[in-house]
Amino acid sequence: MNRFFYDKEQRNGQTVVLQGEDAFHLTRVLHLQSGGQIELCGPDGVCHSAVITELGKGNVQCRLQELLPDHEPGLAIDLAFGLLKGERTDFVLQKATEIGAAAFLPVSTTRTVVKLPRKAEHKTERWQRIVRSAAAQAHRNRVPVVHPPQEFPALLHLFPAYDRVLFFWEGARQGSLASAVEGTGPGARLLLVTGPEGGFSPAETELAQKAGARVVTLGPRILRAETAAITAVALTLYQAGEMGGR
């Protein structure tokens, strides 16, 4: 069953009108007709099965039906990751969305090769489309938010908003992920921080610790930056019991 997301203004009672790219994808790519079945999720994360009732010019009218299960993790995991070259940032956004990340905070660090984009809003809008598509494919109830890219010092000021901040550093010789996640439960909000291709500098690691982060290791092997980001999300959700763990 194909899943689509809609905004508040698209709904009137039990009727939802899909427009733009969603309407095009539904009619021209999927070739669905009146009577076809889809799934629709609102901005509150509540999803319903739905039936197509009318095909218009550039829009598709649907009627909501049965309530669908909530597939979102019980705890919110935001991922702050160093900006990566080429399509690697896209890859991290896509895969971490599928796994269950709640939000993304792209960061420029001392060793980041990619410079902050001049027109950050355009880049962020593109990233948000990637995340929206991945969320639909993974049957997420919510679309993760992609925040505009920022400098590393600005990220430190956000640490107090989280229950725990886990700072993944390849230079760490100790710092068990299991112990860092222990005690978290439904409703907790975690921030995972992973670095760019060159990793974090010792100075950045020290600043993160002073700001309240717990330094965590992913083991003795050196992972590519995109691998580390995706692995961090997956293992944290596993340790929290959201992917068959604990």
* Beta carbons within 10 angstroms of residue 53's beta carbon: 14
Backbone Cα Rg of the chain: 20
Cβ atoms of residues 64 and 14 within 8 Å? yes
Q: Which domains does the chain have, with CATH numbers?
A: 3-67 (2.40.240.20), 76-239 (3.40.1280.10)
Cβ atoms of residues 146 and 104 within 8 Å? yes
Which of 47-51, 53-57, 150-154 is predicted least confidently? 53-57
- The reported pTM is 0.93
Q: For residue range 114-141, list pLDDT tens digits in order.
A: 877 777 788 899 999 999 999 999 999 9
CA distance 88 to 79: 15
Q: For residue range 82-94, list pLDDT tens digits in order.
A: 999 989 999 999 9
